């Protein structure tokens, strides 16, 4: 009898936990991208598949949008995004964005400069190792995650 109650209790706790998570609002990511960029759309799909709500803004000049938001150009990629108080540049994995939002570092944001093969939205049969960088408010960078 105890074993049945324990199993039933665990099931109910798991169900309550799932429902609480399902009812939490999804983090909103605003993406500034070119209308013609296919890999940006693939990255957006990656975010949506991983529990983010995305508001995509097609802009005529992504470099100008990046500059207006404050991400250094040398850390740029093909799209710039904002989530909460942070910037997210390039093909950053959703897990890294979640880590950023959980840890809340005192920083400008995170970036995957360039467009490394194998990063989300840049799927490739020949992926490369790449780093997600944490960008300080002073523009200094350090490794945030390795992939």
Hey, where are the domains in the chain? 31-146
Which contacts qualify for 71-75: CB closer than 8 Å, 24 or more apart?
71/108, 71/109, 71/111, 71/135, 72/135, 72/139, 74/113, 75/111, 75/113, 75/133, 75/135, 75/141
Position 3 confidence tier, pLDDT thresholds 50, 70, 90? very low
User: In this model, does residue 1 exceed pLDDT 50?
Assistant: no
For 64-101, the pLDDT digits (tens) are 999 999 999 999 999 999 999 999 999 999 999 999 99
Residue 135: φ, ψ to 5°: -105, 115
User: In this model, does residue 40 exceed pLDDT 90?
Assistant: yes
Position 22 confidence tier, pLDDT thresholds 50, 70, 90? low
Give the global pTM: 0.82
Distance CA 13, CA 39 (A): 40
């Amino acid at each position: 009898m105890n074993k049945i109650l324990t199993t039933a209790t665990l099931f109910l706790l798991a169900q309550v936990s799932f429902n609480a998570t399902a009812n939490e609002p999804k983090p909103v990511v605003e993406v500034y991208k070119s209308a013609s960029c296919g890999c940006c759309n693939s990255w957006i799909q990656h975010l949506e598949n991983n529990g983010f709500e995305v508001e995509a803004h097609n802009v005529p000049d992504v470099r100008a949008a990046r500059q207006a938001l404050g991400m250094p150009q040398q850390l740029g990629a093909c799209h710039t995004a904002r989530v909460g108080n942070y910037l997210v540049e390039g093909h950053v994995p959703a897990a890294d964005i979640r880590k950023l939002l959980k840890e809340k570092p005192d920083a400008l944001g995170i970036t995957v400069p360039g467009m490394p093969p194998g990063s989300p939205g840049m799927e490739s049969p020949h992926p490369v190792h790449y780093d997600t960088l944490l960008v300080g408010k002073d523009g200094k960078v350090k490794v945030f995650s390795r992939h």
